[in-house]
């Protein structure tokens, strides 16, 4: 699938806004991810308020991605919805990947910013987003149109030496 091979983490964007229709397509793709015991703990907070984006960027030091974002989706969950605690991060990682691949298909660039379970970052972001009690942010996924179409280039991480059949050695 072309989207898999040409998705790149894109960290700077044009001023073009993303339509609500595209945001919904991206979120729908997120909901389609598989989940342990079909727990589907994913929830989505769509953020386009620039003040909020700047506040979040101050917590995500070392990357300009968040402050550049035109639209940002916080993927969060309610601990009360969880059936298999140990696999929540696997589930939500798949949700984020589906969203980024759908974005790629729409010509939209994306970059995931890991949050949970990094303690300090999770707490700081929960506070900014007013996620209280059992609610917690898992990741921020930044979106925007890439400045250059060529940013969707094909990068090959394939490594034959990491593939074994039946036995490891």
Ligand X SMILES: Cc1cc2nc3c(=O)[nH]c(=O)nc-3n(C[C@H](O)[C@H](O)[C@H](O)COP(=O)(O)O)c2cc1C
From 27, 33, 72, 111, residue interacting with ligand X (rule: CB under 6 A): 111
Contact (CB, 8 A) for 74 and 96: no
Task: Give the separation between CA 4 and CA 19, rounded to whole angstroms.
Answer: 23
Q: How far is the CB of 96 from ligand X (least distance, A)?
A: 7
Burial class (CB in 10 A: 0-12, 13-18, 19+), 144: buried
Is 26 near ligand X (CB under 6 A)?
Answer: no
- Say how far apart CA 89 and CA 69 lie, in whole Å: 23
Closest distance to ligand X from the beta carbon of 32 (Å): 19
Question: Which span (26-34, 35-43, 109-117, 126-134) binds ligand X, by CB under 6 A?
Answer: 109-117
CB atoms within 10 A of CB 138: 26
Q: Is residue 108 part of the contact set for ligand X (CB under 6 A)? A: no
Q: Which is nearer to ligand X, 74 or 167 (CB)?
A: 74
How far apart CA 39 and CA 22 sit, in angstroms, is: 25
Yes or no: say if 25 and 143 are a contact pair by the CB < 8 Å rule.
Answer: no
- Work out which of 22, 39, 63, 67 binds ligand X, going by CB under 6 A: 63
Shortest distance (Å) from residue 114 CB to ligand X: 3
If binding is defined by CB under 6 A, does position 131 make contact with ligand X?
Answer: no
Nearest residue to 19 (alpha-carbon basis) of 128, 107, 124 = 107
Contact flag: residue 112 with ligand X (CB under 6 A): yes
Q: Report if residue 6 touches ligand X, rule: CB under 6 A.
A: no
Task: Work out whether 122 is an interface residue with ligand X (CB under 6 A).
Answer: no
Applying the rule CB under 6 A, the residues between 27 and 46 that interact with ligand X are none
Task: Give the position of tokens 């949970």.
Answer: 116
Instruction: Give contact residues for ligand X (rule: CB under 6 A).
Output: 8-9, 11, 63, 65, 111-114, 155
């Amino acid at each position: 699938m072309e989207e898999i091979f040409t998705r790149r983490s894109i960290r700077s964007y044009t001023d073009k806004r993303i339509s609500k229709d595209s945001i919904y397509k991206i979120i729908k793709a997120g909901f389609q991810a598989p989940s342990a015991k079909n727990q589907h703990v994913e929830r989505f907070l769509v953020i386009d308020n620039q003040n909020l984006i700047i506040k979040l960027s101050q917590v995500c030091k070392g990357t300009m991605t968040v402050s550049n974002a035109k639209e940002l989706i916080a993927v969060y969950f309610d601990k009360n919805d969880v059936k298999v605690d140990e696999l929540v991060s696997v589930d939500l990682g798949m949700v984020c990947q589906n969203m980024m691949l759908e974005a790629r298909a729409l010509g939209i660039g994306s970059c995931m910013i890991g949050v949970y379970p990094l303690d300090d970052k999770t707490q700081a972001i929960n506070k900014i987003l007013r996620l209280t009690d059992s609610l917690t942010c898992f990741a921020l996924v930044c979106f925007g149109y890439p400045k250059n179409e060529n940013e969707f280039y094909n990068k090959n991480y394939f490594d034959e030496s990491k593939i074994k059949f039946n036995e490891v050695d």
